[in-house]
Amino acid sequence: MAAAVGVTLEQAQKMVAAAVAKSTEMGVLMNVAVVDAGGNLTAFAHMDGAWLGSIDISIKKARTARMFDMPTGAIGGLSQPGGPLYAIEHSNGGLITFPGGVPVTGADGELIGAIGVSGSTVEDDHAVAEAGAAAL
C-alpha cells in the first residue's frame, strides 16, 4: 500500500490552519496550498472573499517551491530579463516565481513538501507561508 510521499495530511492541515490563523491575525484574505515531496496537492484552503485568481497562484507557488527546493522569490531573482533562468515560468505547466512559496523540511532536515500562499502583497504572502511552514 502506498504511503504519504513526504508531508502527511495531518501535517498539511496543521500548516494550512496556522497560515489561515496568521492571515486572520494580519487582516488579510489568503489562499493556502500544501504539496507533498512529489509536488502533489495535499491540502488547500480558500478564505472567504480571497482573490479567486490566487487559488491557482497559491498552488503553483507551492509546486514551484518544491520543484526547485527553494523559496519562489529566489527563482524570481534569476528569471528576470537578462537573468540566467529567464522565462523559466513557461515550464511545468506554468511556474510562479515571486514570493509566497517555501519548501518544508521534516525533523531530519529532509525536504517533505512545500507551502504556497497568495492573496495579498508578496511580503504578506511570504510571511504567511513562513508561519505555515513553522507550524510543523
Query: Nearest distance from residue 136's CB to a second copy, in Å?
Result: 15
- CA-CA-CA-CA torsion sign (131, 9, 17, 118): positive
- Residue 20 binding a second copy, by CB under 8 A: yes
Sole binder of a second copy in the list 40, 74, 106, 130 (CB under 8 A) = 40
Nearer to a second copy, 40 or 130 (CB): 40
Binding mask 60-89 for a second copy (x = CB under 8 A): x---x-xxxx------x--xxxx-xxxxxx
> Site size for a second copy, by CB under 8 A?
64
- Residue 49 binding a second copy, by CB under 8 A: yes
Interacting residues toward a second copy by CB under 8 A: 1-5, 8-9, 12-13, 20, 29, 36-57, 60, 64, 66-69, 76, 79-82, 84-99, 110-111, 121-122
